[in-house]
């Protein structure tokens, strides 16, 4: 197949031009225009698309290098072949540097067709490569735009999520406030009725109503507390405090309750525990009260054993953790509920967990312990009791200026 060739000839001698075209017609179906001056060249370049340019090196008004400059200025990358009768090596090199693709001696046209074919092929390749590069640039720009858009979207989504979170916290705060006021009415009126010496039949009912209202009140507190813990709104106050006193004071009230139920209550605090530790004492006490409170609540006979001891930290050799254990001989928890009990409402699926009435206490305790860098787990068998164990990295307060640890024996049998 003979391909068509739109050729621009820069040549002042018409017979030379015709000779050249005749030669080219051996390989191409040539249409051409011949120009002699810079003006003509510019006009021709502007008016039609061209496949190639062949230029005489020496023209009266300008030379091939000028032609190359003009083409480059117009952003044209066409196969450009110089023809010259007297081209020296220097001029040839200069011309090639300026962007000419080949040069051919005047009259030696046998090389013309294959040279042009090659140049056309290369021009096509150059063109395709440029297109690919342009596409790549476009694609990259598109990607950058996309990333920018996505980033903006994500930022918006993040802001929306934060706003929703704030709204949720506000809602919970307001809701718990709104609920507490009517609850004051309910509890107050029951209290008032109890103060008025109600008939014997009514007293226990009123007391039950009061207990229920009290549970509701604590639940409201827990919901608010849990939501604040989850949203990270609560900061832990890390201050040095006496660990032994904290454990004992938390256990004291609950030991009384255990005794009322006829349970044995043992508290064992190892003597080698640091006297003063740095943590959030209030939060730690909250965990103790929750765990010991549950033990008392779910145990009808037998004993409750609370222990605190030093144990090596498996993650940091040379460091110790403090391990707390609350053991009871209560109703126990079946194995499939061991994980569930630490989660919130939505995860409470089993009837057992539902009826346990744990509320949010364990979910809150787990959150507190984990925030303080500890872990909690439960070992339990249905019907034989449970042991809740948790560890904590309690930073030991500097012993400088501290008295040595109290060495009184573990409080034992407080329930008897």
Q: Which stretch binds another protein (CB under 8 A): 16-24, 145-153, 186-194, 350-358?
A: 186-194
With binding defined as CB under 8 A, does residue 360 bind another protein? no
CB of 169 to another protein, least distance (A): 12
Task: Decide: 283 and 245 in contact? Cβ < 8 Å.
Answer: no
The one segment of 129-137, 140-148, 176-184, 346-354 that binds another protein by CB under 8 A: 176-184
Closer to another protein by Cβ: residue 58 or 173: 173
Among 191, 252, 300, 336, binds another protein (CB under 8 A): 191
When asked if residue 249 is in the footprint of another protein (CB under 8 A), the reply is no
Stretch that binds another protein, among 46-54, 68-76, 90-98, 191-199 (CB under 8 A): 191-199
Integer Cα distance of 325 and 330 in angstroms: 15
Candidates 269, 376, 392; CA nearest to 322 is 392
Q: Which stretch binds another protein (CB under 8 A): 24-32, 108-116, 161-169, 183-191?
A: 183-191
φ, ψ of residue 405 in degrees (nearest 5): -55, 145
Angle made by CA atoms 74, 79, 85, in degrees to the nearest 5: 110
332, 386 Cβ separation under 8 angstroms:
yes
From its phi and psi, is residue 197 left (phi > 0), alpha (psi between -120 and 50) or beta? Answer: left
In whole angstroms, how close is the CB of 195 to another protein at the nearest point? 6
**Residue 170 engages another protein in binding (rule: CB under 8 A):** no
Q: Helix, strand, coil shares of the chain as percentages rounded to 5?
A: 55, 20, 30
Q: Rule CB under 8 A: is residue 231 a binding residue for another protein?
A: no
Contact 266, 308 (CB under 8 A): no
185 counts as binding another protein under rule CB under 8 A: yes
CB of 276 to another protein, least distance (A): 25
CA dihedral 159, 161, 165, 168 (to 10 degrees): 120
Of 191, 147, 9, 163, nearest in space to 82 by CA: 9
- Under the binding rule (CB under 8 A), the answer on residue 182 touching another protein is yes
351 lies in the binding site for another protein (CB under 8 A): no
Interface with another protein includes 371 (CB under 8 A)?
no
CB nearer to another protein: give 76 or 179.
Answer: 179
Site residues for another protein, window 46-105 (CB under 8 A)? Answer: none
Closer residue to another protein in complex, CB, 221/343? 221
Is 286 a binding residue for another protein by CB under 8 A? The answer is no
Distance CA 145, CA 175 (A): 44
Instruction: Report d(CA 40, CA 42) in Å as an integer.
Output: 5
Distance CA 107, CA 110 (A): 9
Q: Is residue 221 a contact residue for another protein (CB under 8 A)?
A: yes
Closer to another protein by Cβ: residue 123 or 209: 209
User: Which residues would be at the binding site for another protein (CB under 8 A)?
Assistant: 173, 176-178, 180-189, 191-192, 195, 213, 217, 221, 224-225
């Amino acid at each position: 197949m003979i391909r068509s060739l739109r050729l621009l000839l820069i040549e002042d001698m018409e017979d030379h031009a015709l000779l050249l075209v005749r030669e080219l017609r051996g390989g191409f179906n040539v249409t051409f225009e011949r120009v002699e001056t810079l003006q003509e060249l510019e006009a021709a370049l502007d008016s039609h698309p061209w496949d190639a340019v062949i230029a005489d090196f020496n023209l009266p008004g300008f030379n091939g290098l000028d032609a190359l400059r003009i083409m480059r200025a117009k952003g044209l990358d066409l196969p450009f072949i110089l023809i010259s009768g007297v081209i020296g090596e220097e001029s040839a090199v200069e011309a090639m540097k300026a962007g000419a693709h080949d040069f051919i001696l005047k009259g030696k046209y046998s090389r013309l067709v294959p040279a042009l074919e090659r140049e056309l092929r290369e021009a096509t390749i150059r063109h395709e490569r440029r297109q690919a590069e342009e596409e790549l640039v476009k694609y990259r720009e598109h990607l950058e735009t996309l990333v920018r858009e996505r980033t903006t979207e994500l930022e918006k989504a993040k802001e929306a999520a934060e706003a929703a979170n704030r709204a949720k916290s506000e809602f919970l705060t307001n809701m718990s406030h709104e609920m507490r006021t009517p609850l004051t009415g309910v509890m107050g009126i029951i209290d008032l009725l109890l103060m008025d010496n109600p008939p014997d039949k009514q007293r226990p009912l009123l007391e039950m109503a009061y207990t229920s209202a009290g549970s509701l009140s604590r639940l409201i507190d827990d919901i608010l507390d849990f939501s604040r813990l989850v949203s990270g709104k609560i900061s832990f106050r890390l201050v040095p405090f006496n660990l032994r006193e904290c454990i004992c004071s938390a256990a004291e009230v609950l030991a009384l309750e255990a005794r009322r139920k006829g349970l044995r209550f043992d508290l064992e605090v190892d003597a080698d525990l640091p006297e003063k530790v740095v943590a959030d004492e209030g939060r730690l006490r909250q965990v103790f009260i929750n765990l010991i409170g549950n033990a008392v609540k779910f145990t009808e006979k037998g004993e409750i054993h609370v222990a605190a001891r030093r144990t090596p930290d498996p993650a940091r050799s040379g460091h110790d953790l403090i391990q707390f254990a609350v053991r009871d001989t209560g109703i126990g928890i079946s194995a499939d509920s061991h994980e569930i009990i630490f989660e919130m409402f939505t995860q409470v699926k089993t009837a057992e967990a539902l009826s346990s009435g744990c509320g949010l206490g364990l979910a809150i305790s787990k959150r507190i312990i984990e925030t303080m860098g500890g872990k909690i787990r439960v070992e339990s068998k249905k019907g034989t009791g449970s042991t809740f164990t948790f560890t904590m990295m309690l930073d030991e307060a500097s012993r400088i200026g501290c008295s040595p640890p109290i060495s009184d024996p573990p409080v034992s049998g407080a329930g008897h």
